[in-house]
Amino acid sequence: MRAMITAITRRFGPEVPALVGFLAVVVAIFGLAAPRFLSLANFDSMAFQLPELGLLTLAMLVPIISGGLNLAIIYTANIAGLTLAWVLLQFGGAEAGPGAFVLGVAAALLVGAAAGAVMGLVIAHIGAHPILVSLAMMIFLRGLGEFLTRGGDISGFPSYLAPIGHGSVLGLPVPMLIFLVAALVWHVMLTRTRHGFAVYMIGSNIRAAAYSGLHTRRTLTLIYTLSGVLCAVAGILMLTRFNSVRVGHGEALLLITVLACFLGGVDPFGGFGRVLPVVLALVILQVLSSGLNLLGANQHLSTAVWGLFLIGVMILRWVAGKVGQGRKRKDL
Amino acid sequence: MTAAEPAADPAERTATESPALRLAHVSKLFGGVRALDDVAFALGRGEVHCLAGENGCGKSTLIKIVTGVHAPEPGAEIEIFGQPVTSVTPTLARGLGIAVIWQDLALFPEMTVAENIAFDTLVGGRPRGVNYRAMRGLAAGVLDRLGVGLDLDARLNTLPIADRQIVAIARALAGDARLIFMDEPTASLTQSETDSLLAIVRALSARGVAIVFVSHRLAEVLEIASRVTVLRDGRLVGVYPTAGMTQSRLTELMTGRQFSHAVRARDLAAERAVLVLDGLARRGEFEGIGLTIRAGEIVGLTGLIGSGRTELAHAVFGLTRPDAGTIRLDGRALELRSNRDAVAAGIAYVPEDRLALGLIQPQSIADNIVLSVLPGITGGAGLISEPARAGVVGHWLRELAIRIGRPSDPVSTLSGGNQQRVVLAKWLATKPRLLILDSPTVGVDVGAREGIFAIIRDLAAQGLAILLISDEVPEVYFNADRVLHMAGGRLVGEYDPRQITLAELEERIYA
């Protein structure tokens, strides 16, 4: 047992065993309290709800590891969704063919990448703080989107899009598949590629990274560009799930993505963080929310529980740190 | 203990009626580690006394016991200004006139000079309001006694380190300190700033303030202190008068090892030139720099801080662009747009500030080593190859004899000497033609320094061209084949260590 935990810890990060344990406890409690919780239908509904927040959280994760933040994720997703909607409407709205959809997806990804690239270039070359740069981008995209849509919903899309948001393949919801692929790609990128390596180094000490010959500006630009691309994926998914686009949709998720990152053990000061613990944190948040919902609790209450949960986790980590220190006390 | 003379009881040597401080039989255990083992220490009123020893020898623990941060094991005798004290608390220590100036100074960067100086006396612990006039009066008085003029209203974070050091001393004096511990006070000061600090220390001593001086810079120690107490591995090695003591003798006492000090310069004029600088200049930093470093040659570059040494290194490493002149490596003229170009061309640079620039402290030892050679360990699919990575790390850990727990441990867990080896490993992995070392032994224990230089000499023997930049004239004198002297952004002298004595060389550089 101990050997297995050590192996898991080494491969996926020290947070994983604790998060798995926590997940088991939460599932057990809700399983006992709400009989319907352990039903297939409930798992299915959770699997449809999680990917949207999940993709946005992955988009937030890498900027945080690099010592920054991307506050523009929601509106980047919205604007990308809007781009797809616009292309579809140009080709007849509900009558638009699959070719138009492919074109629209390409345009949406491009817009997401462009929004990210602009932020990345400004952060990398001007040295402005990512919070300020992404805040400015967020305000810009929100204003632009509301101006273009006049604050309303845009809808009327081809019916063949529905399976992307609501269908299943081999029993797995399509949105979940998209999220899992994205998570896998992000995991490999962070742990195995030179770009991922540079992300961690920059997050800990960008000047030392530059002194050692890492191309820090290119890395920063790529971090935000890829974050923008993932936002666009989330935006496309939102369009297919709700069959409409509205600027501001998902606004409440912005800080939840940050919460999920920190729950997953990402260092708020940069340099450390892994994909798997963050995915586990997302599942825990989803379980808490769905479980409370099944018990008939108000939706706002589950948001409150999320907040309490993070505070609890911080206290637990502090206690665990104290215990760990006590064991190897050395104080010269 | 073999090299040490029998250690006399220091308390007996201070014959004056009651010494400022007398400790005997002081031990301290942390878990199972014996940080201090039956140590005695004493200094007279107005004495400047140096506490010397390598990192981890127990110096800090001793200071913390005297100031009440740690309690000693039972059986310790502590006497402060003739008064026996059974248990020291921080308040009691301050009340008896003991103050410590830690290396990080522990001042308030957002507050003014006057507020900082008067803090303990008039500001701290007074909820009812602050008397600004009394505060300024007190601060002005103390600075006046020190004979320095500082703007009382300047915010501390706008002052240079040297001035902050003076504020820290003034703060101790404002609290009527009669015994001041100074922990590495000159670590970040230039030579002239150090000189004025030492002058202040002498003035304080003349007024009867006792000073315990902790410093890695042995030349300074021998200059300022009248006696030196040497600790090694928590034990007292001995107490020695500084008159007649040499740096090499003191090093032997601190490390318990003998070091051979011999000039190692060789004549390499026939070797192929690796680096040739011609007329290199950058406005405001350096000008007219012409130098050649040959294969296998160690060229020492010394001069005071601010002489343009580091700026020159930055330009050769592509971090800044020169305004004029050429850089040639192996006969090829280089146009460096960034340090990545320099690395690709075969230039490696170990920066002076190892903590902030040389290593990425929180990240692992392994990652810090492979940082510079990522393309070389990346496989066809663009993925870093785990075996290749482990291979590079293992090779260099063995090659440089780096003693570590696991390669996945943060590099910050290593000692200064081992950290410097990791920096070297990172650069040697790039197979450089030219290695620039900027003050490679700053913050490295005397004992570990010799190990670093052994590696450097070995690299030179393998044909690497090395530019060794250092403040410490003896370091370049004993290790370099030629010594260049830089001042005011120009090269002003070139010396062959075989044709000049160390004293003459120091004379010319510090003149």
**A4: which 2 tokens?**
């297995």
Instruction: Determine the residue type at B335.
Output: E
Residue B417 lies in a domain: yes
B368/B496 same-domain check: no
Closest CA to A265 of A290, A288, A282: A282
Reduced to 3 states, what is the DSSP secondary structure of residue B145?
helix
Domain span at residue B507? 260-309+319-346+432-511
**B46: which 2 tokens?**
């107005």
B339/B213 same-domain check: no
Residues with Cβ within 8 Å of A316's Cβ and at least 6 positions away in sequence, in order, are: A18
Closest residue of chain B to A208, computed from CA coordinates: B357
B508/B462 same-domain check: yes
Q: Is the pLDDT of residue B3 over 50?
A: no
Q: Is the pLDDT of residue B12 over 80?
A: no
Instruction: Please provide residue B251's backbone torsions phi and psi, each rounded to the nearest 5 degrees.
Output: -60, -40
Instruction: Please provide residue B372's backbone torsions phi and psi, each rounded to the nearest 5 degrees.
Output: -90, -10
B226/B332 same-domain check: no
Q: Among B31, B356, B382, select the one facing A208 at the smallest CB separation.
A: B356
Domain span at residue A209? 47-248
CB contact under 8 A, A204 and B363: yes
Residue B449 lies in a domain: yes
Could you give the number of structural domains in chain B? 3
Q: What is the pLDDT of residue A273?
A: 94
Please give the full DSSP string across A262-320, using - where no structure is assigned.
Answer: HHTT--TTSS---HHHHHHHHHHHHHHHHHHHHTT--HHHHHHHHHHHHHHHHHHHHHH
ipTM over cut 0.95:
no
Residue A187 lies in a domain: yes
Confirm or reject contact between A332 and chain B (CB < 8 A).
yes
Instruction: Please provide residue B209's backbone torsions phi and psi, each rounded to the nearest 5 degrees.
Output: -85, 125
For testing contact with chain A, the best of B233, B314, B371 (most A CBs within 10 A)? B371
Residue B172 lies in a domain: no
**B486: which 2 tokens?**
């830089």
Residue A206 lies in a domain: yes
Q: Once rounded to an integer, what is the mean pLDDT over residues A63-77?
A: 97
B93/B182 same-domain check: yes
What CATH number corresponds to the domain at position B227? Answer: 3.40.50.300
Task: Using pLDDT thresholds of 50, 70 and 90, give the confidence band for residue B125.
Answer: low
Residues of B in contact with A201 (CB under 8 A): 360, 363, 367, 371
B126: left (phi over 0), alpha (psi -120 to 50) or beta: beta
| Count of CA atoms in the C-beta half-sphere (13 A) of B471 | 21
CB contact under 8 A, B375 and A194: yes
User: pLDDT tens, B268-321?
Assistant: 888 899 999 999 999 999 999 999 999 999 999 998 777 889 899 999 999 999
Please give the full DSSP string across A35-54, using - where no structure is assigned.
Answer: GGGGSHHHHHHHHHHHHHHH
Confirm or reject contact between A243 and chain B (CB < 8 A).
no
Q: Once rounded to an integer, what is the mean pLDDT over residues B96-125?
A: 81
B183/B222 same-domain check: yes
Residue B289 lies in a domain: yes
pTM of the model: 0.79
B340/B447 same-domain check: yes
Closest residue of chain A to B355, computed from CA coordinates: A208
Q: Final residue of a domain: which of B426, B454, B484?
A: B426
Q: Final residue of a domain: which of B380, B411, B426?
A: B426
Residue A256 lies in a domain: no
Q: Can you state the angle between helices A98-126 and A130-149, rounded to 10 degrees?
A: 150
Q: Is the pLDDT of residue B189 over 80?
A: no
Could you give the number of structural domains in chain A? 1
B26/B82 same-domain check: yes
SS3 sequence of B481-504:
CEEEEEECCEEEEEECHHHCCHHH
Q: Once rounded to an integer, what is the mean pLDDT over residues B445-449?
A: 78
Which stretches of B44-137 are assigned E, i.e. beta strand? 48-52, 77-80, 83-85, 98-101
